[in-house]
Amino acid sequence: MDTPPSAPHRPQAAAHAPATEAVHAGREDLTALGLHAAPLDLSTTYPSPDSRGEAARLDAFAATGAQLSGPPVYARLDNPTTARFERALARLEGTESAVAFASGMAALSAVLLARGAAGLRHVVAVRPLYGCSDHLLESGLLGTEVTWAEPDGVGAALRPDTGLVLAETPANPTLAEMDLDALAARCGDVPLLVDNTFATPVLQRPRDHGASLVLHSATKYLGGHGDVLGGVVACDEGQARALRQIRFATGGVLHPLAGYLLLRGLATLPVRMRAQSAGAAELARRLAADPRVERVHYPRLGGAMVAFEVAGDPHEVIGAVRLITPAVSLGSVDTLIQHPGSISHRIVAAEDRRAGGISDRLLRMSVGLEDVEDLWRDLDAALAASAATAVPSATALVP
Ligand SMILES: *Cc1c(COP(=O)(O)O)cnc(C)c1O
């Protein structure tokens, strides 16, 4: 049992502090349901005894993309468990609405399809981006055409058919940061989408700096435990309606169990981000002082990601960690490390990786909640292993 819900959009009450929103937002209907914990509704379909009424509701959805009022009809249209996660994330990002998808890539695909359907197929994007986002744009798989620009060249790259400007800050994997207010000013009337996966709304709310769409791979910090794949776009209700219509037509829906886990994950997001960021800042400081490390990238904004270029062979570091897990992905409660040139950004052509500042010596680490001394001991031993190997030439590093 679960709520019928998906109330149509209505103005939200004044926001509380983020830590309060994180544990209360999206759960507004629970008291009326007589529940304390959010329920999980796994129904794929729902009773529809009044087919005349359903016809009218489906016509209204097809015409506007507004969330159905009244009980759900079919799980590809609407699910009350997922809707709670969407309401909570919108509150945290300070947007009117949010639309959840099966993964971060499904969310980005829906945005590109929505802009393309409006006849605006050209995208201006700033490198580096997450490897698969770069690939999706560069390949033109969804019929989009991309112009890559530096942040200050975005204005000059706009065309009459530009439907979207896309940027990540801090960017994956170099943690490069950009001035969002300045970038938004250069976009004019073209919507700016900011991938906020690395910062999360705890550290940065792109909407407050002029972005009109905020994208998350919810797989990362929002879920926070490495056990759920999801994506979400926070935006105004007009854009959300277009995205819901795309989601209904193309089927990239979030599974309700994932919606349940993501809502649960949001409750601890502020406290996880604070603790993991403190560990990451300390490790970044120690790495920067270490002669076995040539360069450390750590955002001014803070955060729980650290990237660093080693003097020795980065593959040896990956092979030598014992406590830290050598794995792609990020944002979990445990620490992960990977080599972007081999894994997360392998799908990006080598020259485009270099253009995006992704060195073959770069390692990307997602710092978890472990004790920082334990993490440092593991890193220290792995760095010793890499320093013991002959320093290869930069080209020999490419497997
Ligand atoms: C992982 C990631 C994505 C893609 O998300 P999935 O949930 O894996 O589809 C997009 N952007 C960034 C910054 C990411 O780290």
Q: Is the pLDDT of residue 395 over 70?
A: no
61 lines ligand 1 (CB under 6 A): no
- Least reliable range by pLDDT among 23-27, 101-105, 151-155, 355-359: 355-359
Helix axes 51-64, 237-250, angle to 10 degrees: 120
What CATH number is given to the structural domain containing 360? 3.90.1150.10
- Specify whether 92 is located in the same domain as 196: yes
- Specify whether 53 is located in the same domain as 169: yes
Banded pLDDT at 272 (limits 50, 70, 90): very high
Question: In the chain, where do the E strands start and end?
Answer: 97-101, 122-125, 145-148, 162-168, 192-195, 213-217, 231-235, 293-297, 305-310, 325-326, 336-338, 362-366
pLDDT of residue 69: 86
Tell me, yes or no, whether 60 lies in a domain.
Answer: yes
What 3-state DSSP class applies to 122? Answer: strand
What CATH number is given to the structural domain containing 211? 3.40.640.10
Distance 105 CA to ligand 1 centre (A): 6
374 contacts 368 by C-beta, under 8 angstroms? no
Atom of ligand 1 nearest to the CA of 106: 9
- The residue out of 223, 248, 268 marking a domain boundary is 268
Task: Tell me which of 132, 175, 200, 328 to substitute to probe ligand 1's pocket, judged by most ligand atoms within 8 Å of the beta carbon.
Answer: 132
- Specify whether 264 is located in the same domain as 276: no
217 lines ligand 1 (CB under 6 A): yes
Residue type, 332: S
Q: Is the pLDDT of residue 394 over 60?
A: no
Q: What is the mean pLDDT of residues 84-110?
A: 98
Tell me, yes or no, whether 392 lies in a domain.
Answer: no
Q: Is 236 a catalytic residue?
A: no
85 contacts 100 by C-beta, under 8 angstroms? yes
Tell me, yes or no, whether 164 lies in a domain.
Answer: yes
Atom of ligand 1 nearest to the CA of 218: 7
> What DSSP designation does 296 have?
E
| Buried b / exposed e along 190-223 (16+ C-beta atoms within 10 A) | bbbbbbbbbbbbbbbbbbebbbbbbbbbbbbbbb
Distance 273 CA to ligand 1 centre (A): 18
- The residue out of 268, 301, 334 marking a domain boundary is 268
Distance 3 CA to ligand 1 centre (A): 30
181 contacts 74 by C-beta, under 8 angstroms? no
Tell me, yes or no, whether 231 lies in a domain.
Answer: yes
pLDDT of residue 9: 42
CA-nearest residue, atom 1 of ligand 1: 217
Tell me, yes or no, whether 394 lies in a domain.
Answer: no
For residue 185, count CB atoms less than 10 angstroms from its CB and return exposed for 0-12, middle for 13-18, buried for 19 or more.
middle
Total-model pTM: 0.93
Q: What is the mean pLDDT of residues 60-73?
A: 93
pLDDT of residue 356: 85
pLDDT of residue 397: 52
Annotated active-site residue in 46, 74, 76, 286: 76
Separation in Å, CA 20 to CA 11, 35, 88, 201, 220: 19, 19, 11, 13, 21
CA-nearest residue, atom 6 of ligand 1: 104
Say what percent of the chain tops pLDDT 70: 94
195 lines ligand 1 (CB under 6 A): yes
Give the model confidence (pLDDT) of 201-250 as tens digits. Answer: 999 999 999 999 999 999 999 999 999 999 999 999 999 999 999 999 99
> What DSSP designation does 148 have?
E
Distance 258 CA to ligand 1 centre (A): 15
Task: Tell me which of 109, 127, 130, 166 to substitute to probe ligand 1's pocket, judged by most ligand atoms within 8 Å of the beta carbon.
Answer: 130
- The residue out of 207, 237, 268 marking a domain boundary is 268
- Specify whether 260 is located in the same domain as 309: no
Give the model confidence (pLDDT) of 126-135 as tens digits. Answer: 999 999 999 9
Q: Is the pLDDT of residue 367 over 50?
A: yes
Tell me, yes or no, whether 240 lies in a domain.
Answer: yes
Distance 64 CA to ligand 1 centre (A): 29
Q: Is 84 a catalytic residue?
A: no
Distance 104 CA to ligand 1 centre (A): 5
CA-nearest residue, atom 4 of ligand 1: 104
103 lines ligand 1 (CB under 6 A): yes
Q: Is the pLDDT of residue 53 over 90?
A: yes
Place of tokens 């950004």: 345
Q: Is 74 a catalytic residue?
A: no
Q: Is 220 a catalytic residue?
A: yes
pLDDT of residue 3: 40
105 lines ligand 1 (CB under 6 A): yes
Q: Is the pLDDT of residue 338 over 80?
A: yes
> What DSSP designation does 187 have?
T
pLDDT of residue 10: 44
Tell me, yes or no, whether 96 lies in a domain.
Answer: yes
Q: Is the pLDDT of residue 398 over 90?
A: no
Give the model confidence (pLDDT) of 286-337 as tens digits. Answer: 999 999 999 999 999 999 999 999 999 999 999 999 999 999 999 999 999 9
Element (DSSP H or E) covering residue 190? none
Atom of ligand 1 nearest to the CA of 129: 13
170 lines ligand 1 (CB under 6 A): no
With DSSP H G I counted as helix, E B as strand and the rest as coil, what are the percentages for the chain, rounded to 5? 40, 15, 45
What 3-state DSSP class applies to 146? Answer: strand
Measured torsion, CA atoms of residues 50, 53, 54, 60, in degrees rounded to the nearest 10: -170
User: Mean pLDDT across the chain, nearest whole number?
Assistant: 93
Tell me, yes or no, whether 329 lies in a domain.
Answer: yes
Distance CA 286, CA 303 (A): 16
231 lines ligand 1 (CB under 6 A): yes
Q: What is the mean pLDDT of residues 382-388?
A: 92
pLDDT of residue 303: 98
Residue type, 368: G
252 contacts 8 by C-beta, under 8 angstroms? no
Q: What is the mean pLDDT of residues 29-42?
A: 97
Distance 70 CA to ligand 1 centre (A): 33
User: Residue 366's domain spans which residues?
Assistant: 270-387
How many domains, in total, are found in the chain?
2
Annotated active-site residue in 2, 84, 127, 130: 130
- Specify whether 132 is located in the same domain as 158: yes
